[in-house]
Every structure is written in structure tokens, then in C-alpha cells.
Amino acid sequence: MTQTAPAPGGLLKQRDFRLFWTGDLVSQLGSEMTLFALPLVMVSTLDASGTQIGLLEAFYTLPFFLLPLFVGVWQERRARRPVMIATDLARFVLVVTIPVAAVLDVLSLAHVYVVAVLVGALSVVYDIAARSYLPRLVAPEHLGSANSKLTADQAVSATMGPGGGGWLAGAFGAASVLFLDALSYLVSAVAMIAVRTREKPEPPPAERDLRRELAEGLRAVFGNPPVRAIALHAAIYNAGGSLVNVAFLVFFVRQLDMGTFAYGLVTVIGGIGAIFGAVCVPFLFERIGYGPSLLVALAFSTNAYFLLPLYTGSDTAVFWASAVGLFFGYAGSAAGSVIAVTVRQKVTPPELHARMNATYRLMNFGTIPIGAALAGVLVDGIGARTTLWLAPFVLLASVIPVANRTIWRLRQL
């Protein structure tokens, strides 16, 4: 697949990368606001139970388990930029239906679930396209820096989404947040339309062997020891992360009655930690290597979450324990994400990027709906705080696949 050559100079001097980076930031912001606002709508407007909230996250992430392999094969010989534009526009239309239905007083659980499934499916398509388009947009020597900036996008979105969302939800209602979310997808589409770098898809073969192409995508992950180890880690880690997400929302907002604004604020502090981790990690892996840096990041992204259920006394103690836990947990997670995606992109042949990303996402996100559904059942069965004590042990189990010599010796790529 050929494309317009990247402009010379640093990343920030390249117009197309700036537009791509901006569009990705706004799109990620929209996704974070969706993930933040949908549960709040269910809690505040529809009086949903813990199980129903868990089902929401399960529905949203179910496409991440069902679609990636086929999306990767479908995108392999297709230009990614038009795909990203189309998915942004479709998500705009879908998300805006929720605040409209809320204003008309016709919003239902079924409506929220349907939008969650469809937006989740479109997010699968967008994310695989974006990760596969990036190595064709920037020079190889800029790839680590570009991934750091895109992970910082996720961190900034995780900060601005819950923070702004919490304030808007408190002032105007949770459904109002989703209107701004819908607009963010529209802005992202406009930014991507302005990108000039074009891909010229290779002509498809006379007869495509779908089974062979799927097998090649699977081998790109399972046949590559570093990628396989990171994918197994991510699968376990995301299951534990789902336990944290569902249980912490119910524990903090409902059980402790800290309020949606405080929930948004404490998540903002966590998001600042994610920005810190994403921005600083390139300096770390340049000094000690990729594998050791990943293990350092995991020390923070697992143990920090023991702070979330630790305090139930004064509101101040609960707030700051939660803030510190999310700050260091998010920092470690963001740093680990930068390392993981850079390793995957550099050790995989370019012609397999879409299928490799698809297989990786199948493992990475396939456990989220299972973890989310289980989290809802556990919250209603054994309580939110007990579930929060259980979650860090699941996160620690995710270290096992990467705590080996293959990762430790992964200094340079």
C-alpha cells in the first residue's frame, strides 16, 4: 500500500499529523464522555441497578470481542482515512439520539443499550483504522513519539471527559453531556477530512482466501512472543479494569454518596496521572529499554488500586485516597499502553498491521464485557467495596504473562 510521503521535520511540524492528532483527541474525548455519561444517565435518570450498569459496559464492549478479526481483514486493502470519517459521522448520529430522547421523556434502557452496542461496534472499526493508518502517516523514527502523543490524547480525554462531564451533569443533567459528546465526533470527522495524506489501497487478489488471511492475523500475535505476552497481559488486565470501573462508580457515587461532581473531579486527577505517564514514558524506555519500562509501569498500574476501597471515613480521606489511587493507576496504565502499541507496531510487518491490531483488540477488549457483566453481579451480590478489594488481585495476575525473560530482554526494537 502506498501513500503520500510524510513531510520532513519533527512531528509537530507536519500539518497532517497535527490534524490527525487533533481529530483523534476530539474523537477520544467523545468516547470518554460516552463511557462517563451513559452510566450516569442510567443511575440518575433511569435508576439502574449495579447489574444493569454492568450490562451497559458489557454491551458497549461486546463488539470488541466479536468484530476485530473480520474488521482487520476487511480493512487490510482499504484506505483507512475514509473509514475513520464515516465512523465518526455515524457515532454523531447515534449518540445525539439519547439527549433528544431524554428531552422528549421517552428514553429507555433498551434505547441506551442499542446505542451502546452500535457505538461500540463503530469504535472498533475506528480504532483499528487509526492504529493502522498512523505508521503510514509518520516516519518510522517518529512512531514512538507519535504513539506517546496518541496515548496522551486518551489521557487528556480521560481527564476532560469525566471532569467536564461531572460539572455538566451536576448543572444540566447527565443527558446533556451526551450532546457535547455527539458534537465531538462531528469535529473529529471534519479534522480527518482536512488531512491530505492519501492511501492507495492495493488491488485485491482475484480470489481472496479469508481463512488464510485470518490465520495470518492470528499468527502475527500468537506467533510473536513479545506481542503474545503483551496481548495475554492486556486481556487479564482489562477484565480487572472492568471490575474497578463498575464497582468504583457504585461505591463512590451511590454507596458513599459523594456525588457526580466529586466523581468527575477524582477521575480528572486520575486523568492527569495518565497524561503524566503517557508523556514521560518515552524518556523511560529510551534509558532502560521497552521491556523493563513495561514492568515498571505495571508496578503502578496494579498496586495503586488497593487505595480505592481502603477508606470509608471522612469524605476528605475517601476523596484523596481515591484520587491518589487513580493518579498512579492511570499513570502506569497509560505508560504501559504507549510501550505495548510501539512494540506491536515495530515488530510486526506493515502489511499485517490491521490484522495484528484486530487480533490484539480481540484479546485486549474481549474480556471487558465478561469482566463488566461479572462486576455488576458481584456488586449486587457481595457489595461494591468487596469487589474493589478483589479487582487489584486480578490486575496483579496480568503481570504473569509479561514477567519473563522475553520481555525483560526487550531493550531495543
Q: Do residues 347 and 227 lie in contact, with contact meaning Cβ atoms separated by under 8 Å?
A: yes
217 touches 73 (CB < 8 A): yes
pLDDT in tens, 199-232: 765 555 555 566 776 677 777 777 778 788 888 8
The per-residue pLDDT for 5 is: 44
Burial class (CB in 10 A: 0-12, 13-18, 19+), 101: middle
Which one-letter amino acid corresponds to residue 359? T
Model confidence at 2: pLDDT above 50? no
pLDDT at 1: 44
- In one-letter notation, the amino acid at residue 262 is A
Nearest to 120 by CA among 168, 194, 61: 61
With H, G, I as helix, E, B as strand and everything else as coil, classify residue 184.
Answer: helix
Residue matched to cell numbers 457515532: 91
Structure confidence at residue 8 (pLDDT): 47
Q: Which residues contact 139 (CB under 8 A, 6 or more apart)?
A: 6
CA–CA dist 152, 184 (Å, integer): 17
Residue whose entry in the numeric block shows the C-alpha cell 458481584: 378
Residues 321-341 have pLDDT tens digits of: 889 999 999 888 888 888 887
Q: How far apart are alpha carbons 62 and 145 in whole angstroms?
A: 31
The pLDDT of residue 120 is above 50: yes
3 state DSSP class of 200: strand
Question: What pLDDT is recorded for position 348?
Answer: 76
Residue 124: partners with Cβ closer than 8 Å, 6 or more residues away: 63, 64, 67, 68, 71, 361, 365
Element (DSSP H or E) covering residue 104:
none
DSSP 199: E
- Listed in order, strand segments (DSSP E) in 201-264 are none
Question: Tens digits of per-residue pLDDT, 251-285?
Answer: 888 888 787 778 878 877 887 888 888 788 878 77
Higher pLDDT, 145 or 20: 20
Lowest mean pLDDT among 159-163, 175-179, 385-389: 159-163
Which has the closest alpha carbon to 32: 271, 372, 215, 354? 271
Region of 199 (left: φ > 0; alpha: ψ -120 to 50; beta: rest) is beta
Smallest CA-to-CA distance from 285 within 150, 147, 397 is with: 147
CA–CA gap between residue 3 and residue 212 (Å, rounded): 26
For 47-81, write each residue's pLDDT tens digit: 777 678 778 877 887 777 667 667 776 776 677 88
pLDDT tens sequence across 87-96: 999 999 998 8
d(CA 24, CA 126): 10
In this predicted model, what pLDDT tens digit does every residue of 357-400 receive, in sequence order? 777 777 777 777 788 788 888 888 888 889 999 999 999 998 89
**% of the chain with per-residue pLDDT over 70:** 83
The 10s digit of each residue's pLDDT in 6-53 is 444 567 777 888 888 888 888 777 777 777 777 777 777 777 776 787
Contact 340, 230 (CB under 8 A): yes
What pLDDT does residue 270 have? 83
Residue 196 has pLDDT above 70, yes or no: yes
* SS3 label, residue 2: strand
pTM score above 0.75:
no
Helix ranges, 7-138 (H): 15-44, 50-66, 68-75, 80-103, 109-137
Closest of 190, 206, 176 to residue 36, by C-alpha:
176
Q: Would the pLDDT of 86 be above 70? A: yes
Q: Are the C-beta atoms of 319 and 266 separated by less than 8 Å?
A: yes
Residue closest to 122 by CA, chosen among 97, 85, 147: 85
